Amino acid sequence: MRKTFALLTDQDWKSLLSRATEKSYKNNDLIIAEGSVQSNLYLILSGFVHITGGKEKSKLTLDRLGPNEVFGEMSFLENAPASASVVAEDNVIVQQIESAHLNSLLASDYGFSSRFYNSLAITLSERLRDLQTNQKELNINEIAQVNRFHSTRLGHITYRQIPVELKNSIHEFDAATLELEEKLNKGGNLEESTTKIQKLCDNIVESLNHFTQSEFLLKMGFEDLMSFRDTDQLDIGIGAYIFRETFPKFMLSETMAHCYMKPRGFIDDFKVNELIYANQPWGDGQLGSLIDQWFLEGDFCSSRREDQSYMTDFINNKFRNSTSILNILSLASGSGFELFAALKDLEQEKVRATLIDIDQEALEHANELGNKNQNNNHTLSYINQNIIGVLEGRLQFQISLQNIIYATGFCDYLLDDQLIELLNWMYKHLKIGGQAVINVTTPSHPDRNLLTHILEWVMHNRTQEDLELLISRSTFTKAIKFRTNSFGISTFAILEK
């Protein structure tokens, strides 16, 4: 925690607070409004406040301050309107120091004046450094989630090594989809076309899964001894071959095209999840819409929708009928669809929700969703930070103890050591009896090769046993419950402090 005015002596503080007025604020009270003219200083005695700024309808939390920290110093220094709003969280008690009293001390005590301005310079320097560090963290590509450029996938396999059966399967796909597209353009039967395209796409996935099995890869390697490749290269080569041959058709699907192109630089960005959750097929022409429907109805997308519903129900069950203010934190939150679905049902309960994500546009979208379902019982904060930087101590971040901290879909992009750091951080920031929720994607799910080779969606998949081992190395040591969804694709771990 930053200590504002660290150079002031005990006597300085005694003089500074001699005429201060103690003020109390309740949850969500506006202490300072952005643009308001005020030049008082505030010392926080207890509780937390958050600093918000940005567009009127998409304000982000710029900082959080707690006990022994000061705010209002910028307006005092510049004698200008407040550049951000300060909002109370829970019950907050502050000492309000009038600007007239402070100016009197500065004018009459040279030693105090020197220590005050030197301390202020240090504080502002620290905040500027934190801001620069945060901006740098928001632009680094240090986890698998970030992938702004597609790799060149050539030279991993020779044409002689590609099985004849696979070549025939690809040729059948090309010819059949072309014929189907022509029929649809002429008003062909939609129901028959839907069945046909689903079968054709299923066949491609089956071929991809079949010919990337280790025994077939070994066989392929010996088909061209002059150009022998190891199985890892052959796996990439088979995927690249199928990718190149099917790309024009699969990219007619809106969802698949977005998954591949990653316009925001993220594999698992909020737009992808929005498309999956909405489940409204669309694409270029009728063929594109049918391929999109096939992808959205597949096990992976269906699993994602089930996971969203599970988290919504989990939050509802934990918070329903509670009479106290409850804190919930969503890490790598995206737009927080599952959270807002839960809050819509928790109309009477008092919930303080914080969403953290590296993607500012995702948080702005979340803010829009929050504004559509405004409820005076709910306090919503949106923080634009790289949670990896927070976990590894490069970024300063204050958060009050939470009832629930969850990160769904995030652990698939973390290395083992990072996942353990995440669990330790969650434990530290939970209340006693508070719960953490994470999930992982199994390595054996049927759409894995489709995601990896066609959509270039690379994840660190883990079994429940893998997850149990990592949890045992964390502060939690064990989970109180595991739950695998009905598709066998996603496993949730519920942990308690």
- CATH number of residue 321's parent domain: 3.40.50.150
Q: Is 150 inside a domain boundary?
A: no
Question: 326-331 and 402-407 as β-strands: parallel, antiparallel, unpaired?
Answer: parallel
Distance CA 253, CA 244 (A): 16
| Whether residue 366 is found in the same domain as residue 288 | no
| Whether residue 234 is found in the same domain as residue 91 | no
Confidence of residue 3 (pLDDT cuts 50, 70, 90): low
Q: Is the pTM of this model over 0.75?
A: yes
Tell me if 318 sits within 8 A of 403, measured CB to CB: yes
| Whether residue 201 is found in the same domain as residue 345 | no
Distance CA 398, CA 405 (A): 14
pLDDT higher than threshold 60 for residue 137: no
Q: Residue 260 belongs to what domain range?
A: 159-297
pLDDT digits (tens, 9 = 90+) for 340-363: 999 999 988 999 999 999 888 889
Q: Is 372 inside a domain boundary?
A: yes
| Whether residue 396 is found in the same domain as residue 468 | yes
Confidence of residue 403 (pLDDT cuts 50, 70, 90): very high
Least confident of 251-255, 281-285, 386-390, 491-495: 386-390
Distances (CA, A) of 277 to 148, 157, 311, 337, 355: 24, 37, 13, 9, 19
Write out the DSSP string of 125-136.
HHHHHHHHHHHH
Question: 70-71 and 41-55 as β-strands: parallel, antiparallel, unpaired?
Answer: antiparallel
Distance CA 116, CA 53 (A): 27
The single-letter DSSP state of residue 450 is: I
| Whether residue 358 is found in the same domain as residue 379 | yes
Confidence of residue 485 (pLDDT cuts 50, 70, 90): very high
Residue 67 has φ and ψ, to the nearest 5°, of -55, 140
What CATH number is associated with residue 114? 2.60.120.10
The length of the chain, given as a count of residues: 497
| Whether residue 372 is found in the same domain as residue 395 | yes
pLDDT higher than threshold 50 for residue 144: no
Tell me if 337 sits within 8 A of 273, measured CB to CB: yes
Q: Is 146 inside a domain boundary?
A: no
| Whether residue 167 is found in the same domain as residue 219 | yes
pLDDT value for 406: 98
Picking from 297, 329, 351, the residue at the C-terminal end of a domain is 297
| Whether residue 106 is found in the same domain as residue 191 | no
| Whether residue 461 is found in the same domain as residue 321 | yes
Picking from 277, 297, 317, the residue at the C-terminal end of a domain is 297
Q: Is 148 inside a domain boundary?
A: no
pLDDT digits (tens, 9 = 90+) for 225-277: 555 566 677 788 888 899 999 999 999 999 999 999 876 666 788 899 999 99
Q: What per-residue string of b and e applies to 442-454 under the rule 16 or more CB within 10 Å gives b? A: beebbbbbbbbbb
Q: Is 154 inside a domain boundary?
A: no
Tell me if 459 sits within 8 A of 441, measured CB to CB: yes
pLDDT higher than threshold 50 for residue 330: yes
Q: Residue 360's closest CA among 340, 341, 335?
A: 335
Q: Is 145 inside a domain boundary?
A: no
pLDDT value for 489: 96
Strand partners, 92: 25
Q: Is 425 inside a domain boundary?
A: yes
* Structural domain count of the chain: 3
pLDDT value for 140: 45
Write out the DSSP string of 202-234.
HHHHHHHHHHTSHHHHHHHHTT-GGG---HHHH
The two tokens of residue 209 are: 């899964």
pLDDT value for 141: 45
| Whether residue 292 is found in the same domain as residue 320 | no
Picking from 276, 297, 318, the residue at the C-terminal end of a domain is 297
| Whether residue 240 is found in the same domain as residue 264 | yes
Mean pLDDT of 103-124: 87
Cβ neighbours around 144 below 10 Å, total: 16
| Whether residue 323 is found in the same domain as residue 181 | no
Q: Is 144 inside a domain boundary?
A: no
Name the more confident of 244 and 136. 244
